[in-house]
Structure 1
């Protein structure tokens, strides 16, 4: 019986076309590469902090909840690009992609199986669609190879993001429609409807841009079977549509409103004023910015797609010579429409110009463009290679070998540089995580984050959905920090300060320091503010410290070239100029006379609220432009600020402040500001690498 079964299996394998066997092996290798890159290059997630959103959502779904709970005070535990709705957080994206990773977590306790399945599915569906578009298994296998070897796909396959799953869904949609239309079978169309609905929920703008030409062609060319096609497509589409409506209603209160715009309405398609989150600065996005953004993405895609430039030329030549099928040509037209449409998408400009992360993880917004690029490029390359060889084997080899060698060399360079850069960024996060793990007794760590989200700019500072991790992170926000510390009396409190522009690029500062926090109470509590020399950018014309508490703002001019220190005394009357004592013990620079310390200038903050003291260091360059260099909050609670008197006799002033540095890692510029409770020991133990 065993021999018979073995013969049957061998017979069935022998009947499988060689191209299909090759693609199966390629899919397995792609799955293995995704898992390997995950554990070597991105073990702590990538520089794209959106990974943290998908992973948190996946962990929440795996625990049987739709939204992560939001304990009081909810803003203190706010995850990256999340928003508070009732007693929970609503994350930015729909739950379909997180559900894939949630299933993997639930079944295997790891996201590795999901990454492997997505990577393998991308290769297989590319091959199957290639057969439908070209009619050739060899050309389809070439398309799958081009996709699998692209550095963009290799790196994205190791990330918890939506771009590669969306590529699989888009191709599955086209595949199901073409196969159902050709075979007159309903099942492929139902599957295409499901894939279309999920893809539209995940990346609706991409679906519209890429598939509109093909949809119009289907409506025109299938006049006799138009309603039959639509009927079965709608049957498959119904399930994801219902899920989207229900989850939208639960997240936003409106079935037709996606959670994407719940945090910031100005984060949308089109030109004008754009913002990523409420505290984000104003970004004026216009046509010129859109063009530069698409140009930057295409420039990178030339190297991040395997043979990107060659494939584009081959696809264009095949189109001109009419070597493409109708669906393939319309898919190419969809790719062009995609590029035109992305001129009006400010998120791509943000990624290219403001953040710059596409240089390290690839032009990920262009992942859908790979679909027409690899299919049309493979058809054009196969036709062009055959035409060259037909003119003479030597001539063909003389042209093809250098081109292939150049493509392989460029791919190796792009991939090796990307891996090197991401290993540097991951190394910084490894050091930061190790420093956090050295802290004793399940610490509570307040992160001086700007913007005020956890999981940004580093995924290390993210919590799980149950807020019960060995290290609990909270955002340093002010008086609410005292509530958070009181809610966790068994956890020693620390402050984590990250260098400005931490891990923004491999060459950015990676310094991170930890300071021990303590609560001081009394009628008056004093804190020392220190700014080291060289804290401001080189060439700064002037600098100032600004202290803000409630409606009072004090501006103190400081010398940008020398160290500055002052003491602020917090009392029950709030902040005023008499509470600031400047240290004038610093010696004058050689050749200059000692100047008396400048006195604070007080102004009124219209609509100012709160009792905590916010300290901001500003610097003015030679052109007169002032910008913030560093910012830190000293949490303060005043008994008199309560709406009703405290019968327990709460002290007049309660301050949560640093009592000294504990540890430090990283290289580059340190966070300039240091605020320490007066009388606290200052014996830092730093570990720099």
Structure 2
């Protein structure tokens, strides 16, 4: 880490001389800091740029041809500027370049098929939609069969969960370069630069700012987020730009009227830029930004004195464009300018305690205060390793605050981080990520990125002070931080490599399908892009592979009829696919065909349980009710399912073929009209010996329609055509015996 030595920095590395903090006479580095200023903002000249502005400009060379002279003048100015840049500035430039390279490596090597965070697929789809000149992706027919993850079909299109501000950046990258790598690299580099600039604005010390940028860049959480199509890092860049603009313009608002007249033109635009950045960030993640920046904003208004109206006016001017765009988008998406699309799908997906759901068919989750506390605690525990030396940095930050070394602005940001954590106690999404999904163990506690950004600033202040006081102790702290970082990355990278390998194997078998296939995804809940982002259609449903969710009955047969030139397949994925690196990941690809007759018979097979189990059961769902059949979990089970106009019957299941007890009727229904859609499904439940608690293992539909002539049409498998080598593939098999007419097209 740069400048962790106890010597006094040279004048080239000192932005502004300040008074020594009271009681700190023994610290030789104190002369470059501003801990004692009541405003919390280092004093600077109006025309002073605190980041590596060259002190002199080389005069342009004279003579020569016009073209050559211009080129030489540009080269000379660039060389002069580079020569005048401080070593710290060059270091930060290299650090930003490294972050950009890391973003590309993470994107294309670690997450070529996106990460296990399904929101990435949403941002990708929204960016592709904007790049195609549309605000919303086109809806298929039936719309629910093609619905992307957490999308709402309406008026011939899908409304996605998030606002389009961050996807617009990725769309620009896609339009200009043909991919998302350039946009990710730009955001990663910008995050490093804004972190450095924020350190300068808070502490007026290049050493502290460079250490903060280093801690931020090398944090495992940031390393992975650099290459992920998510909003957390872009929003943080916007928030830091807002803070920088506010601090830059605040000096003018706080000065005397005569001083403000000289500064307003230059500093006023910084305030407008702060409003623009803050407004855009709020439009993407309103709760995060408002809570984090509220203490700083209150402090800024309080200290502006006679310039409050001018400050608020300039900031408000910058807020107008993002606010207008957000209101217009809300009106187009939800029909109301004041209604965000976030809760458009499910009204119970919101802040606060009580019953919470992520989507309408999600089971009710009773989220309480203790759940929120445990979720925040879990995230903080992970942040202790996913931030570069998080535990060490926390100690340094606490020491810096206790010794009053962070100034008023830094203190306000620290208070904002604490309020952020307190607010997240009432956010059920953090509880969902920590305990229901659990993916933050492998990609980091991404919700706490704003807390990390504040932690590295305050921790850098404390670490530099520690280096000035006890260099060896600071070196030991740095070694511990590096060790924790390496330990977390040594765990996270192999885990994500395994998860990516599962998607790569799946992509291989799907990509090998001939022609333009129609692939049904057997998954619950019934959305595409989940649990793998590979199952995704482009914005206008014009990809070589067309994906749909198998929903059973008339919906699946309608999808087949709407794609007459596409051979139909069924992709079977384990329910826990890619939930963890050790979760079941075996998948099967089966050919589908339509079977019509007075009765359609399907072969049923259940594989033995891979774990020692006490019991198992096979549940058959038909139009007249649900029936549970106890089966042997330790041996292959076979049976035959007969589907006719009156219902379904499970036959040939005996003691010899795996039955272990008497069937039990779980639920009865009123028989439907003779013609129409039928719900036919099979599900397997197993009770493991180690837990004694029954769990759901697999489910498969048999899409069925009763025709007006009394015959039935069933869309069923004619056999497996490919499989991935992952462990524990779906154990339930449902297929027609012998050959049958394909649903459409020709078989492979």
TM-score, normalised to structure 2, is: 0.84
1:153 to 222, 233, 246: 222
Change (3 A) 1:466 1:362: same
> Is the 2:637–2:657 Cα contact (8 Å) retained in structure 1?
no
1:34 aligns with 2:103: yes
Q: Tell me which residue corresponds to 2:60.
A: none
Match of 1:637 among 698, 701, 705: 705
**What per-residue deviation string (whole Å, max 9, x for no partner) do you get for residues 98-140 of structure 1?**
1110111111111111001100110111111111110112211
Match of 2:715 among 630, 649, 656: 656
Aligned pairs for 1:377-526 within 5 A: 377-388=459-470, 396-397=471-472, 399-479=473-553, 480-526=555-601
Answer yes or no: is the 8 Å Cα contact 1:567–1:582 preserved in 2. yes
Cα displacement (A) at 1:606: 6.8
Greater Cα offset, 556-565 or 71-80: 556-565
Distance 1:179 1:602, change over 3 A: closer
* Counterparts of residues 343-358 of structure 1 (less than 5 Å): 343-358=425-440
Task: Report whether the alignment pairs 1:569 with 2:642.
Answer: yes
Q: Are the equivalent residues in 2 in contact too, given 1:60–1:68 (CA < 8 A)?
A: yes
What's the RMSD between the two structures over aligned residues? 2.0
**Partners of 1:596 and 1:333 in 2: how far apart?**
63
Conservation of the 8 A alpha-carbon contact between 2:630 and 2:660: no
- SS of the residue corresponding to residue 630 of structure 2 reads strand
2:327 matched to 1:245?
Answer: yes
SS of alignment partner, residue 585 of structure 2: coil
Query: Are 1:667 and 2:667 counterparts?
Result: no
Of 127, 151, 168 in structure 2, the residue corresponding to residue 82 of structure 1 is: 151
1:539 and 1:529 map into 2 onto residues whose CA distance is: 21
Q: Map 1:256-275; keep pairs closer than 5 Å.
A: 256-275=338-357
Contact 2:629-2:661 at 8 Å conserved across structures:
no
Question: CA 1:651–1:28 in 2, change beyond 3 Å: closer, same or farther?
Answer: farther
Query: 1:201-224 CA distances to partner (integer Å, 9 max, x unpaired)?
Result: 111111122111112212221131
Counterpart CA distance in 1 for 2:670 and 2:342 is: 32
Aligned to 1:120: 189
* Displacement after TM superposition at 1:303 (Å): 1.3
Q: Which residue is 2:310 aligned to?
A: 228
Give the counterpart of 2:378 among 282, 296, 313: 296
Give 1:28 deviation, angstroms: 1.4
With normalisation by structure 1, the TM-score equals: 0.91
**Deviation of 1:587 (Å):** 6.7
The answer (yes or no) to whether the contact 2:121–2:529 under 8 Å persists in 1 is yes
Residues 187-336 of structure 1: matches in 2 within 5 Å? 187-336=269-418
Equivalent residue number for residue 616 of structure 1: 683
Give per-residue Cα distances to partners, 1:537-565, cap 9 Å, x unaligned.
Answer: 63334x33222233433333323333322
Q: Retained in 2: the 8 A contact 1:521–1:651?
A: no
Measured after TM superposition, the shift of residue 597 of structure 1 is: 7.3
CA deviation after TM superposition for structure 1 residue 572, in Å? 2.0
Alignment of 1:119-198 (within 5 A): 119-183=188-252, 184=264, 185-198=267-280
Output aligned runs, 1:594-613, within 5 Å: 598=662, 601=665, 603-605=667-669, 610-613=677-680
The DSSP-based 3-state class of the residue aligned with 1:158 is coil
Quote how far apart the aligned CAs of 1:600 are. 6.3
Taking the aligned partners of 1:553 and 1:304, their CA distance within structure 2 comes to 47
- Structure 1's 401 and 223: CA in aligned 2 closer, same or farther, altered over 3 A? closer
Task: Supply the distance in 1 between the matched residues of 2:373 and 2:79 (Cα, whole angstroms).
Answer: 55
Query: Could you give the per-residue CA deviations for residues 442-479 of structure 1, whole angstroms, max 9, x where no partner exists?
Result: 21111101111111111111111122222211101112
| Aligned partner of residue 528 in structure 1, secondary structure | strand
SS of the counterpart of 1:495? strand
| SS of alignment partner, residue 344 of structure 1 | coil
1:460 is paired with a residue whose SS is: coil
Structure 1 contact 550–610 (Cα < 8 Å) conserved: no
2:196–2:213 contact (8 Å) kept in structure 1 = yes
Secondary structure (helix, strand or coil) at the match of 1:659 reads strand
What is the CA distance between 1:658 and its match in structure 2? Answer: 0.5
Secondary structure at the aligned position of 2:305 is classed as coil
What's the offset of the Cα at 1:628?
A: 2.6
Matched, 1:109 2:109: no
For 2:692 and 2:469, the matched residues in 1 are separated by 64
Equivalent residues in 2 for 1:89-104 (5 A)? 89-104=158-173
2:632 matched to which residue of 1? 559
- Shifted more, 524-533 versus 427-436: the winner is 524-533
Could you tell me how far apart the structure 1 residues matched to 2:482 and 2:687 are? 49
Contact 1:549 1:610 in 2 (8 A): no
TM superposition shift of 1:585: 7.2
Alignment of 1:583 onto 2:657: no
Distance 2:237 2:122 in 1: 21
**Moved runs in structure 1, 4+ residues, more than 6 A?**
606-609, 621-624
Distance of 1:636 and 1:256 partners within structure 2: 43
Question: Are residues 5 and 557 of structure 1, via their aligned partners in 2, closer, same or farther at CA, if it must alter by over 3 Å?
Answer: closer
* Counterpart secondary structure, 2:613: coil
The count of residues paired between Structure 1 and Structure 2 equals: 653
Return the offset for 1:621.
6.3
- Distance of 1:453 and 1:264 partners within structure 2: 14
Q: In 2 relative to 1, CA 196–607 (structure 1 residues): closer, same or farther, beyond 3 Å?
A: farther
